[in-house]
Amino acid sequence: MAIAKFLLDQLHERRQRAAQGGGPDKIEARHEKGQMSARERLGTLFEPSTFQEFGMHAEHSGQLFGLAGKTLPSDGVVTGTGFVDGRPIAAYSQDFTVAGGSLGNIHAKKICDIMDYAVHAGMPVVGFNDSGGARIQEGVESLSGYGKVFFKNVYCSGVVPQIAVIAGPCAGGAAYSPALTDFQIMVNKSANMFICGPEVIKAATGEAATMDEIGSATAHATVAGNIHFVANDDAHAVALVKKLLSFLPSNNILDPPHQLNTPLVLSPDPGMNELVPEDPKAPINVHVVIQRLVDGGDFFEVQMDWAKNIVIGFARIQGIVVGIVANQPLVRAGTLDIDSSDKGARFIRFCNVFNIPIVTLVDTGGFFPGKAQERGGIIRHGAKMLFAYASATVPKITVIMRKAYGGAYLAMCSRDLGADLVFAWPTAEIAVMGAEGAVKILYRNEIKNAADPKAREAELSKEYRERFASPYQAAELAMITDIIEPSETRAMVGVALRNTLSKRETRPPKKHGNIPL
């Protein structure tokens, strides 16, 4: 007794056909371009033999205009689940070798189904986007398919982490599915993403634009801020996905993968004191501070090439997964401007929704002054930082390293914005505005009439810093938890993170707040 051979043959033949996608020639053509096939991408992501495919045999009905008699294996998208570092992850991977990975009705249904499954089972979703967009032959049904995918992206948002890899073309409205996810990783050279391509821009406005300028990974990573990571190739993109997942919980109910067995190190790190220059005007490279603060110097920076005046990323401090938000004094004096506010606020909200404690490192000259900023809406954009911090209920630990002036002091997670603990170094300067600006307002005439105005201004600035911007003034007003040596930071933050791990904060019930977008 055994199962009929022809049934097994049929199954194996169908499996083989699906596995070949658009056929060996098309897969070979991709290899020649240095790209993986849709299934190879998933094979690289998942641990061997853990992939459980959903809908391998699903395919368009064949009755649709232009597709009669055509076979589209798996309808051009491979979906399913598998393990990454022992944790289940849902994924879809568009197959460019099948009708250009174009999205039709069944293709969209498969993507939506795997997202539904991910939400119910509480696992992250990783999507490999590589598609010519809406499947032209399916007409408005493919448009509707995109609508359903967008809806599902939003449905998943804040429940399970969503990561989009843009591994090939991502044209027109199709770019909005990646944009609705939490993190976008774009493969350099082989991927491009745009709403209106160069030809459409030329036809509509007469403006000349190259694909490099508007749709390349570099343009998105450095100018537009649309993506979070640039990968050198498909394998690197998968490595970045895995690294990112290593800091994230599987869903919004779980904690991130802390390493609670890591022994607490409470001894000081004298090297941290050495990092602080004597001259208050000499900037610190905040990357060097972060490097010393986090476990093994392992800081996974997010959006490293955009709005560099703020640095964001994931790390562990004494075993606890944290999101780090830090001013970078080397760029625009660490000021908050439109882009850095957008960058910081979105990251804070991601951390909050996925239970990741936030460590904020402050050294900022304030909000960036300028006509373009005011006209560009710095009020609206800067308000996002205030909103994001004030609404975050995860543990919030702030370290004021040096300058914390004006609204930017508040916007970098002050006590009043809900920080659980605020540590300040003795070098902290906390005041309504910077010394130079303040003395010009307070002592205008005195400076003007002085024998040596420059020298008098410098003298008054020094006095202002000592009297009005001293961290002890803020400490006396109970605005900070303690003043600590830089060398004590890692120990203090480590203990603070352990102490606040079980923090629970409830707010009045509401649908959602109204963040200024």
Catalytic residues: 172-173, 407-408
Alpha-carbon distance values, 279 to 276, 284, 364 (Å): 9, 10, 16
| 103 vs 359 by CB, closer to ligand HXC | 103
Binding of ligand HXC by 135 (CB under 6 A): yes
Cα separation, 298 vs 491, whole angstroms: 17
Alpha-carbon distance values, 445 to 31, 50, 92, 308, 316 (Å): 73, 76, 68, 38, 52
In whole angstroms, how close is the CB of 41 to ligand HXC at the nearest point? 17
| 96 vs 350 by CB, closer to ligand HXC | 96
Residue from 55, 100, 344, 395 in contact with ligand HXC (CB under 6 A): 100
Candidate segments 36-44, 169-177, 253-261, 470-478, binder of ligand HXC by CB under 6 A: 169-177
Binding of ligand HXC by 146 (CB under 6 A): yes
| 165 vs 326 by CB, closer to ligand HXC | 165
In whole angstroms, how close is the CB of 135 to ligand HXC at the nearest point? 4
Alpha-helical (H) ranges within 99-216 are: 105-121, 140-156, 176-179, 198-205, 211-215
Binding-residue pattern over the window 245 to 284 for ligand HXC, x denoting contact by CB under 6 A: ----------------------------------------
- What are the structure tokens assigned to 335, written together? 């000021």
Confirm if 497 and 317 have CB atoms less than 8 A apart: yes
Candidate segments 98-106, 223-231, 323-331, 378-386, binder of ligand HXC by CB under 6 A: 98-106
Confirm if 334 and 404 have CB atoms less than 8 A apart: no
| 98 vs 315 by CB, closer to ligand HXC | 98
How many CB atoms are closer than 10 A to CB 446?
13
Confirm if 134 and 146 have CB atoms less than 8 A apart: yes
SS3 284: coil
Residue from 34, 173, 271, 297 in contact with ligand HXC (CB under 6 A): 173
Residue from 35, 74, 81, 102 in contact with ligand HXC (CB under 6 A): 102
| 195 vs 275 by CB, closer to ligand HXC | 195
Confirm if 221 and 305 have CB atoms less than 8 A apart: yes
Identity of the residue numbered 397: I
- The site for ligand HXC, by CB under 6 A, has a size of 15
* 147: Cβ contacts below 8 Å, ≥ 6 apart: none
CA atoms within 13 A on the CB side of 177: 32
Cα separation, 198 vs 210, whole angstroms: 6
Answer positive or negative: Cα dihedral of 40, 46, 47, 51.
negative
Candidate segments 166-174, 291-299, 335-343, 442-450, binder of ligand HXC by CB under 6 A: 166-174
| 78 vs 134 by CB, closer to ligand HXC | 134
In whole angstroms, how close is the CB of 166 to ligand HXC at the nearest point? 13
β pairing state of 320-327 and 358-364 = parallel
Binding of ligand HXC by 134 (CB under 6 A): yes
Residue from 114, 160, 166, 171 in contact with ligand HXC (CB under 6 A): 171
Residue from 42, 165, 174, 412 in contact with ligand HXC (CB under 6 A): 174
Site residues (vs ligand HXC, CB under 6 A): 99-100, 102, 132-136, 143, 146, 169, 171-174
